[in-house]
Structure 1
């Protein structure tokens, strides 16, 4: 994989025009999807506090119709949400020579560390973002010495955040299983020993935001993704052919169903296609936690969800093979999931 440049040095140099490798095809640019009026509804917000009522029906509708929702009263300390954003921003605002100590391995897709290019193919348009990816679970993968030591509590914050996100991911997967009439542990059992990565993404101001994307259109590849963003905003979710901006809520965590959950639910629930916009004035920061199967797990539709009225929709797949396909071919919407359809 070719070593790709980081975005921040471009911006710091006073760049007026973005390099050609960041220019999206016209049909992929944000303006190609814009409507004069905003959509009438926003991404659902679900209160997980059972004293406010049973969240399962709302969860079921959101998983079926959107594949994305925000949760409040989720049990993660709000202090921790602010702290992970604070230490992440401090890292990206640190001197270049500090950041370069933690460079990703340029020869390996999705290696841990400071990077910019995620995919292994060399002919695609690049995203307008820099990131730091942390391998956090299983704990045998967790090596804080590979993470920044500035600010001084960076490593402790990431570890605490990892543990809190694990608890929330397990809670949500249990609720999703229940909402389908499955035993609470069903999806967690399919996943096996979960692999968790935490990616802090930094989207610098872009001199030509109408030409670029912070993240191209894709659905996530694992089981479930949990994301927080700062108040700048920029995350959009695709709903019925329209792009819907996810409004920043300081006390909320965004939940995105990923491809393996769509497979397990036999398409009853959908993985969310999403993208990140950039703007010309403000930098944006987000923190994504990916909760995924181990590479050796075989993922197939739940037998309990296959009926005469709902025949099996997807072939089973070993997750490691799915992962290799995604990083090799690129996302291109949901092409990797579509390749598993039985009736194409």
Structure 2
């Protein structure tokens, strides 16, 4: 339904009663889950790690989580839970309380991937790409030279301040986590962060409207994130799944927790000892779902290579990796697999 250059958003399709063909997933990628259910201990769940625990305990837990899952919750993380709530509240208000013409005044460039603003389409290179049942708002927040709050919504008076505060808190937590993850491998605490360099941080609010045929769609297709580490919060609806041992596992929302997702460059830097997490979002027919993902990535000119020997991955300039990801599409981990040395 949304071709390059148009202004159509998924939220405007909710009342049509049927999913337009551009959003219908192939049979092999559709969810088999009863949409709206919870993971009630019938399947394993990503671990929950208390960052206030003793250092050795945290390192062991992180090592296990990073090697077995590539994703985990953190609690007692130091980010005010009130700020998490405000970020969710204001983000939802943009999608649900603003008129479409107000939202479109912040539309992103539909011909450029990852451009800042309000959009619906992740990939722009191909018109035959199956579209995600999702709208989003992407904020460019770090380095400060990229941060221009005038490009962020102003309809809630404190929106821009909350986003800036949230950006700074997520930046500090991402640095702390990468230090702990480095130490869990016996590496110097600054190893992974130094290998990534100055964070290029984006905050992407994803809004998944109710879907009339959720069994046919995905809110976000299967992929691993491109950069260093992603910090994500959800509302209470649920719909995030991570892939483990070939099976999709539903991640129950934890309101005061932050979900940590290792991305591809961290897998390269740790030489595959820690894996980036393949994940996706499913939809449901009754409730809109909201999540906020904060990406911490290298700069485009940063050369990334393994910190451990012998290397299992070839080095790559991050900008080239990003271009490949957006040109070929994600499809799980095929982009990082292309870096494996034979």
Question: Which TM-score band (shorter chain)?
Answer: over 0.9
For 1:108-135, what per-residue CA distance to the aligned partner results, in whole angstroms no more than 9, with x for missing partners? Answer: 1110000000112222100000000000
Normalising to structure 1: TM-score of the pair?
A: 0.94
Q: Secondary structure at the match of 1:30?
A: coil
1:271 Cα offset (Å) = 0.1
Cα distance in structure 2, aligned partners of 1:18 and 1:204: 12
| Residue 58 of structure 2 corresponds to residue 58 of structure 1 | no
Aligned residue in 1 for 2:133? 128
> Which aligned pairs between 1:132-151 and structure 2 lie closer than 5 A?
132-151=137-156
Paired residues of 2:43 and 2:249 also in contact (CA < 8 A):
no
Aligned residue in 2 for 1:320? 319
| Residue 112 of structure 2 corresponds to residue 108 of structure 1 | yes
Cα distance in structure 2, aligned partners of 1:120 and 1:328: 8
Cα distance in structure 2, aligned partners of 1:64 and 1:33: 29
Q: Which of residues 191, 194, 207 in structure 1 aligns to 2:196?
A: 191
1:2 Cα offset (Å) = 1.1
Aligned residue in 1 for 2:4? 2
Q: Which of residues 214, 222, 228 in structure 2 aligns to 1:209?
A: 214
Q: Secondary structure at the match of 1:168?
A: helix
Aligned residue in 2 for 1:282? 287
Paired residues of 1:300 and 1:317 also in contact (CA < 8 A):
yes
CA 1:56/1:37 → structure 2, altered by over 3 Å: closer, same or farther?
A: closer
Cα distance in structure 1, aligned partners of 2:86 and 2:215: 31
For 1:279-310, what per-residue CA distance to the aligned partner results, in whole angstroms no more than 9, with x for missing partners? Answer: 000000000000000011110011xx21xxxx
5+ long unaligned stretches in structure 2: none
Cα distance in structure 1, aligned partners of 2:138 and 2:119: 8
Cα distance in structure 2, aligned partners of 1:336 and 1:111: 21
Q: Which of residues 164, 178, 198 in structure 1 aligns to 2:183?
A: 178
Cα distance in structure 2, aligned partners of 1:313 and 1:157: 41
Cα distance in structure 2, aligned partners of 1:167 and 1:331: 28
Paired residues of 2:143 and 2:201 also in contact (CA < 8 A):
yes
Q: Secondary structure at the match of 1:102?
A: coil
5+ long unaligned stretches in structure 1: none
Aligned residue in 2 for 1:23? 24
Cα distance in structure 2, aligned partners of 1:49 and 1:56: 12
Cα distance in structure 2, aligned partners of 1:32 and 1:209: 10
1:96 Cα offset (Å) = 0.6
| Residue 90 of structure 2 corresponds to residue 87 of structure 1 | yes
Aligned residue in 1 for 2:263? 258
Aligned residue in 1 for 2:123? 119
| Residue 50 of structure 2 corresponds to residue 47 of structure 1 | yes
1:312 Cα offset (Å) = 2.0
Paired residues of 1:33 and 1:243 also in contact (CA < 8 A):
no
Aligned residue in 2 for 1:67? 70
CA RMSD of aligned residues (A): 1.7
1:194 Cα offset (Å) = 1.1
Cα distance in structure 1, aligned partners of 2:54 and 2:80: 18
> Which ranges of 4 or more aligned residues in structure 1 deviate by more than 4 Å?
36-39
1:106 Cα offset (Å) = 1.4
1:102 Cα offset (Å) = 0.2
Cα distance in structure 1, aligned partners of 2:229 and 2:146: 19
Q: Secondary structure at the match of 2:292?
A: strand
Q: Secondary structure at the match of 1:54?
A: helix
Cα distance in structure 1, aligned partners of 2:250 and 2:201: 26
Q: Which of residues 156, 159, 162 in structure 2 aligns to 1:154?
A: 159
1:97 Cα offset (Å) = 0.9
CA 1:82/1:33 → structure 2, altered by over 3 Å: closer, same or farther?
A: closer
